[in-house]
Chain A
Amino acid sequence: MDGFEKIGYACLGLVALFYLGALIVGSVAAFPLGLLGLVALVGIGALCIKVIGERLRNREDDHYSKNVDQ
């Protein structure tokens, strides 16, 4: 991963965080129907945490990611 890639990921991550924050604030502001969106966000967030956790624990994926290029 070179410098440009790191800068790109950092900027996109920052924007994603702000977007997520805006979604949460918007859901709370649109009370009570906005709570539906909040519940959906929590559901997707839980699934996201599960997927990230599984990927971090998966040694087989690490092996192919590090050792196979072409």
Chain B
Amino acid sequence: MKMTTQDEFAEHEIVATLGLVTGNTIRSRHIGKDILAGLRSIIGGEVIEYTKMLAEAREQSLDRMKAHAQKLKADGIVGIRFTTSPIMAGAAELLAYGTAVRLRSRGEPGNAPATEAVVKATKIPGDNFMLERG
């Protein structure tokens, strides 16, 4: 699954727009970590307990958005944004949203790139395309 915050991909052309995809989560740490975070705020420095909480929320909301896009049989998501809203103290709510699209490589026959160099896109294991310029 290709994802970008831009409105389009440099290497791929959007051939169909499938609609809005979203993924959200609210995560918190246990009370022991909340106490540790409170103590850390007295001393100063990074509050690693909440750094981890936010990172977990970010990854989970992204994964849920990806799952939503896969349900629509999308190849990619464009215009990804994150937003947050305070629901409860000591918890992180994150909503990731974007537009699911179907893609076609700009190097595919009948759709040659504007430059002289031919770009060949090969799907490699995982979610990425490998681009070779010939």
Contacts and interface: CB of A to CB of B under 8 A. Distances in A.
Interface of A: 5, 8-9, 12, 60, 64-65, 68-70
A5 B56 contact: no
B13 interface: no
B51 interface: yes
B52 A68 contact: yes
B99 interface: no
Given A5-B32, A68-B59, 14 more contacts: A5-B36, A8-B35, A9-B32, A12-B32, A12-B35, A64-B27, A64-B56, A64-B59, A68-B52, A68-B55, A68-B56, A69-B55, A70-B51, A70-B52
A36 B52 CA distance: 40
